[in-house]
Amino acid sequence: MIAENPASASVALTRKDFQSDQQVKWCPGCGDYSILAALQTTLPKLGIKKENIAIISGIGCSSRFPYYMDTYGFHTIHGRACAVATGVKAANPELSVWVITGDGDALSIGGNHTMHALRRNVDLKIMMFNNEIYGLTKGQFSPTSTVGLKTKTSPMGNIDLPANPIALALGSGATFVARTADNDVKHLTSILEAAAAHKGTAFIEILQNCVIFNDGAHDDFYSTANRKEKVIYLEDGKPLTYAGGTKGIAASGFGTLASIDLAEGEEGKAIVHNAAEPTGTLAYALSRFSHPEMPVPLGIFRKVEAPVYHESMDAQIEAAKAKKAPDLQKLLSGGVTWKV
């Protein structure tokens, strides 16, 4: 007889079970609404008790998530979500820990924490909302803002080259890296489910629309009218084709990829996607694709297995205990002591 997993839910849960009693307050039309709905739809499928799920956020519009989710969680300080989440997972490895952060929170003041969580392979699910702007603080340019974008802090146009979240995650050694969008709940939900099933850090860039300060940031390639021609969906084991199968991605010289035209039945000319490709070369090459020169990839770029941080940490602690049992009294009374 298999013992019941204490972290498993004893009753079937629904999306409603994860909706808190707090009024959801974002701007009308904000992409955060659909992301919230997607997460509340995904979590009941995991078969995990609500009290074994933790939502950790930093600062930003997206960081209100802990209030709107009927689970435990922390609304932390600017840029520190990954650091706090690492502590939560290390101390409570049975928890399913989700990090909610934005492009500014995760890549600016929190850039170091994000990088180290990724390289350590902490078992976190990091959802980074990318609207290419600071929304909560009213429209300053962020690390992912495009060159030339006019904002309150760049009235003549942003001159900084934008950070590439997917390339950064890959370069940090992340074991699961994906991209999706707020206005395709079906695709978004499928990515969240895949991330939840992954053992280790899962980094998900979610293209999100800020209707007030950067409306339509992704419309050039991901509006309903444009996505069929300008987005390529990454599906493991399938040829990299797009535009209804009329275009594909093929090797073009050493380490480079190019878009090619495909006639009917020529799918075989396109590279087959492999998220577990050992070197990560394919994933990185795809991460450099950008509109309008190339189609924008959505889906899972990389998915590999590696030692998980909390398991390695626990094993080291147990090894230390076995080598020399701790003597707490000796530790407290050893050396110089004072009586008060």
Shortest CA distance to 304 belongs to which of 278, 327, 266? Answer: 278
pTM of the model: 0.92
To which residue do tokens 């070369």 refer?
281
What is the 8-class DSSP label of residue 189?
A: H
Amino acid identity, position 241: T
What is the DSSP pairing of strand 296-303 with strand 176-181? Answer: antiparallel
* pLDDT score recorded for residue 69: 97
pLDDT of residue 6: 56
pLDDT of residue 321: 85
How confident is the model at residue 256, as a pLDDT?
86
Domains located in the chain, CATH noted? 15-217+307-323 (3.40.50.970)
Question: What pLDDT is stored for residue 4 in this prediction?
Answer: 42
Pairing of strands 96-102, 124-130: parallel
CA distance 64 to 309: 27
Cα angle 170-291-102, degrees, rounded to a multiple of 5: 50
Tokens 């939560």 -> residue: 88
* Residue 16: CB atoms within 10 Å: 9
Residue 3 has what pLDDT? Answer: 40
**Do 241 and 265 form a contact (C-beta atoms < 8 A)?**
no
Q: DSSP E strands: which ranges in the chain?
A: 53-57, 72-75, 96-102, 124-130, 176-181, 202-207, 231-234, 241-242, 247-251, 257-261, 296-303
CA distance 271 to 338: 71
What is the residue type of 104?
A: G
pLDDT at 290: 93
- pLDDT in single tens digits along all 340 residues of the chain: 334 455 666 679 999 999 999 999 999 999 999 999 999 999 999 999 999 999 999 999 999 999 999 999 999 999 999 999 999 999 999 999 999 999 999 999 999 999 999 999 999 999 999 999 999 999 999 999 999 999 999 999 999 999 999 999 999 999 999 999 999 999 999 999 999 999 999 999 999 999 999 999 999 999 988 998 999 999 999 999 999 999 999 998 777 899 999 999 899 999 999 999 999 999 999 999 999 999 999 999 999 999 999 999 999 999 988 888 778 888 777 777 777 7
